[in-house]
Amino acid sequence: MKISVSHIVLLVLMLVSAGMASALRPTISLADERTPISLKTMVPAEFGEWREQQNVSAAIVDPTQKEMLDKIYSETLTRTYVNNAGYRIMLSIAYGKNQSDALQLHKPEVCYPAQGFALLAKQASTLDLSGTQIATTRLQTSLGQRFEPITYWTVVGDRITTSGINKKLTEMRYALNGRIPDGMLIRMSSIDTNVDRAYAIQGQFAQQMIQAIGPEVRKRFAGDPAPI
């Protein structure tokens, strides 16, 4: 079996992290030092051209089974938004107070296929959120006649993370300061066979949503480019 360089690097980082665990031993939860997350109140039900559409949450694919959600996440939010043109965006946000190796954010490219979806394509992309370019991932998935493009990003502490290596390095930086970081996964999708249109509208939705979130907690959702 051929092992990629990235997997080797990740393994080395995990071993180093394990070896340093006794010395570092972060004991302070970053989440406990900050404003408690309340997704339902922090993310407005109406912003820009978008408003929440009631009684359609069943159309949203949950990231994991409920029992796993309860173990991994402190809080989740699922909503469907619609604009004046009738276009719908399905939003899912999952927040966990403790981003340790045992409690990690479950990414859509894992949980969607686990629920029967075909993963057709995956690509890295960027979004401009409040003047900051953040790294995101775009997926194309399908289930029967349902074609669902997805845009998502993850935040560990206040840092956008794009890979297992990047996430591990971020956790180690926080550990050096004695902190256990929290984490958030923000996912938006739409049922649309026009991929370019779907991604463009999802990007506009993300920009308007982040602008509508209070500035005191905005970096918890969009990341902070400043050094830890």
Which amino acid, residue 174? Y
| Better pLDDT: 117 or 104 | 117
| Structure tokens that stand for 40 in this block | 């339902």
CA atoms within 13 Å, Cβ hemisphere of 107? 18
Domain ranges within the chain, ordered by starting residue:
5-222
| Run of H or E including 50 | strand 50-53
pLDDT digits (tens, 9 = 90+) for 32-83: 888 899 999 999 999 999 999 987 754 555 555 555 666 677 888 999 999 9
The alpha carbons of the chain give a radius of gyration, in whole angstroms, of 18
| Structure tokens that stand for 117 in this block | 């979806």
pLDDT digits (tens, 9 = 90+) for 111-168: 889 889 999 999 999 998 877 889 999 999 999 999 999 999 999 888 888 877 777 8
DSSP 213: S
**3-state SS, residue 27:** coil
Please give the model's pTM, rounded to 2 decimal places. Answer: 0.82
Of 108, 139, 138, whose CA–CA distance to 126 is shortest? 138
Backbone angles phi, psi at 211, to 5 degrees: -65, -30
- Say yes or no to pLDDT of 3 above 70: no
pLDDT of residue 58: 47
Q: At what angle do helices 5-24 and 164-176 cross, to 10 degrees?
A: 20
Mean pLDDT of the chain: 84
